[in-house]
Chains A and B, each alone.
Chain A
Amino acid sequence: MMLPYLIIVPLFGAFATPLVGLAGKKARELWAVLITALTLGVASELFYTVWKSGEIMVYTLGGKNPLGQGVGFPIRIVWEVDLLSALFALMVTLIAFVAVLYSTEYMRHDTGLEKYYTLVLVLEVGMLGIAITGDLFNFYVFLEIMSIASYALVAFRNDTWEGIEAGIKYMFTGSLASAFILLGIVLLYGQYGTLTMAYLAKMIAGNPTFTAKVALGLLAGGLLFKSGAVPVHMWLADAHPAAPSSISAMLSGLVIKIGGTYALARLAFSVFGMGISMKTVGWIIIFFACATLIVGNAMAIIQTDMKRLFAFSSVGQIGYILLGIGIGLAAYGSDVGDVALAGAIYHTVNHALMKALLFLVAGAVIHQLGTKNLNELSGIARRMPVTSFAFLVGAAAIIGLPPLNGFASKWLIYESSALFNPFLAAIAIIGTAFCTAAYIRVLFTFFGRPSERVVNATEPGKAMLVPMLILVLAIIIMGLFPWAISEKVMIPAAKTLENFSAYVTAVLGGV
């Protein structure tokens, strides 16, 4: 059973970093790369096992059986890993590995790096914990681990005004959102007296109260904040540009998805699925999704700061993921719902890959040229061909051009939204039109005539190019077999998420 090592390995890495750091800089970097590589190995093994068996893996902390002696309800913390959790754990470990490898060169000029690597590993622990946990309070703890590590990492460059400003903004509003989530959990515990998700789902199904609805409202509000949905997306557009680029890649690729949309989908389906009107919740999420799609992508067009543009584009892409989840809820039980949910899951993975790639490209440009202002960056392609190629692949994938991975996932979302409600499909298309406009602008900047600033630019070193090429390769390979991946991984993952009685039975036994 490899599951506990998914947490143990990065946690051990984080605790040991201050000790290893005494041995010097090189040892510290090597240690962080080694630990993230090991975690990636554990996650791949876990994903393969879960995918192969198609079952839900349950792990009990502190005992063999989640149920208490002589009672029929779970008393221990359980970790519950279905195909969706395993897929997202694999995604988290891959991006984290790539980002850490990239940091070895990118962060070399900064000070306080022993704290940096500790925080990155802690961030990874938090995200993996959210993906695998089956206990509501455990979920909250991991969410806070993730959030606090990301507050600190956003403000990591504390000698720049924007790092501090973004960090303060993110921390104040993020803590408020976390407090909403905690309040929701408190209400559920007061009403039902349990914190195990599976058992809670059964209790809510048996006795759906008004309290449960209020709790869902608070939880959804907090989680929409964490995912950067539109009325509460303002922190994201500040936090992502201000963070070091390797961290922006993790924030944009992982944090807003694991701590936001994944948790929202998990709670809406697995915990509340049997006790509430899924149609209502679905339409509420669809409403926010449409607002997010339009505002995020439209705001991306008018940016002159490259990383800010990518950050708004992340908001826009979260809109697609939320749209898929919303339709999956509103059209629950039909083929359209299946396809929409599969599209949302697929798009989560794809967007993690391509947005991580784009932020790494932005980091390379900043590292080599010292500016992220698009007006000064004309003609990078002549001087930095590999970086520009990586950007081209990332931008084409995010728009959704056919040979790349973004096409299939967006297609699933378009198709399902068109079948569900043509108006939603029109909104999705408008969002993509804005997104295309934004990226074409950057593309023209990259491939234009070299400006004075760019003339002496060079490619970054291997430690920065290799992570980008890994992601380019992943995007191209995933783009070559889109329907096979969709059939073999994404649709089954959507099905496991929809099948909430299996989620309950896995913990409680035959009920």
Chain B
Amino acid sequence: MKSDMGLIVKTTARATIPLIGIFGAYVVSHGHLTPGGGFQGGATIAGAGILFLIAFGLGEMKKRYNHHLYSALEGLGGLAFLGAAMLGMGVAFFYNALWQDGPFFNGQPGTLLSAGYLPIMNLAVGLKVFTGLVSAMAAIAAYRRWKE
């Protein structure tokens, strides 16, 4: 399949996709410190995926996108969130056991390794949003034809 975009767009996309990805990862990992979080960061990274899809075309996307992998990763994101929520089951569902007396993620508030299970949940939500949005866009892009 021939891709629709010209050379300038492709080259710019090559340069910007890593930047968008890194910025999205930053937003996800600093969800408990700065504005943003799992959803915003995940959607940003998905933006990189969508830029890839548009700039390089569906043919290239099909080579790089594995439906089963993304579906499994999305489930994994949900499971990680649920697992983090269950860490403090001894007290209550969603009890932040890591923050209260956990082995890690209980540093000084304002540092990266603080806030208990929040960074884990942000990562899980970011993974789920990224894989979910990319899967949805890939599925819509691959949707048969304009006419039957």
Chain B residues lying within 8 Å of A4, measured Cβ to Cβ, are: 89, 92-93
* A62 & B82 in contact (Cβ 8 Å cutoff): no
Q: Is A64 an interface residue (CB 8 A)?
A: yes
- Our pick among A7, A8, A11, A22 for the contact of B72 (Cβ within 8 Å) is A22
Chain B residues lying within 8 Å of A7, measured Cβ to Cβ, are: 93
Q: Is B96 an interface residue (CB 8 A)?
A: yes
Known contacts A22-B72, A62-B96; is-contact A15 B91 (Cβ 8 Å): no
Chain B residues lying within 8 Å of A64, measured Cβ to Cβ, are: 91-92
Shortest Cβ distance from residue A128 to the other chain B in the assembled complex, whole angstroms: 14
* A19 & B76 in contact (Cβ 8 Å cutoff): yes
A15 and B44 CA atoms in complex are apart in Å by 23
A351 and B50 CA atoms in complex are apart in Å by 47
Q: Is A368 an interface residue (CB 8 A)?
A: no
Q: Is A12 an interface residue (CB 8 A)?
A: yes
Known contacts A22-B68, A22-B72, A114-B71; is-contact A16 B79 (Cβ 8 Å): yes
- Our pick among A11, A17, A18 for the contact of B82 (Cβ within 8 Å) is A11
Chain A residues lying within 8 Å of B79, measured Cβ to Cβ, are: 12, 15-16, 19
Q: Is A54 an interface residue (CB 8 A)?
A: no
Chain B residues lying within 8 Å of A17, measured Cβ to Cβ, are: 75
A22 and B74 CA atoms in complex are apart in Å by 13
For chain B, the bracket of interface size reads: 10 to 19
* A60 & B92 in contact (Cβ 8 Å cutoff): yes
* A59 & B82 in contact (Cβ 8 Å cutoff): no
Q: Is B21 an interface residue (CB 8 A)?
A: no
A22 and B71 CA atoms in complex are apart in Å by 10
Q: Is A480 an interface residue (CB 8 A)?
A: no
* B75 & A15 in contact (Cβ 8 Å cutoff): yes
Chain B residues lying within 8 Å of A11, measured Cβ to Cβ, are: 78, 82
- Our pick among A8, A19, A61 for the contact of B75 (Cβ within 8 Å) is A19
Interface size on A, residues (CB 8 A): 20
* B93 & A15 in contact (Cβ 8 Å cutoff): no
- Our pick among B68, B75, B78, B92 for the contact of A63 (Cβ within 8 Å) is B92
A22 and B70 CA atoms in complex are apart in Å by 12
A59 and B94 CA atoms in complex are apart in Å by 11
A16 and B72 CA atoms in complex are apart in Å by 8
Shortest Cβ distance from residue A117 to the other chain B in the assembled complex, whole angstroms: 12
Q: Is B54 an interface residue (CB 8 A)?
A: no
A4 and B95 CA atoms in complex are apart in Å by 12
Shortest Cβ distance from residue A283 to the other chain B in the assembled complex, whole angstroms: 41
Shortest Cβ distance from residue B38 to the other chain A in the assembled complex, whole angstroms: 15
Known contacts A22-B68, A114-B71; is-contact A15 B95 (Cβ 8 Å): no
Chain B residues lying within 8 Å of A18, measured Cβ to Cβ, are: 71-72, 74-75
* B96 & A12 in contact (Cβ 8 Å cutoff): no
Q: Is B33 an interface residue (CB 8 A)?
A: no
Chain A residues lying within 8 Å of B95, measured Cβ to Cβ, are: 62-63
Chain A residues lying within 8 Å of B89, measured Cβ to Cβ, are: 4
List residues of B whose CB falls within 8 A of some A CB.
68, 71-72, 74-76, 78-79, 82, 86, 89, 91-96
List residues of A whose CB falls within 8 A of some B CB.
4, 7-8, 11-12, 14-19, 21-22, 59-64, 114
28 contacts between A and B (CB under 8 A): A4-B89, A4-B93, A8-B82, A11-B78, A11-B82, A12-B79, A14-B78, A15-B78, A16-B75, A17-B75, A18-B74, A18-B75, A19-B75, A19-B76, A21-B71, A22-B68, A60-B92, A61-B93, A61-B94, A62-B92, A62-B93, A62-B94, A62-B95, A63-B91, A63-B92, A63-B95, A64-B91, A64-B92
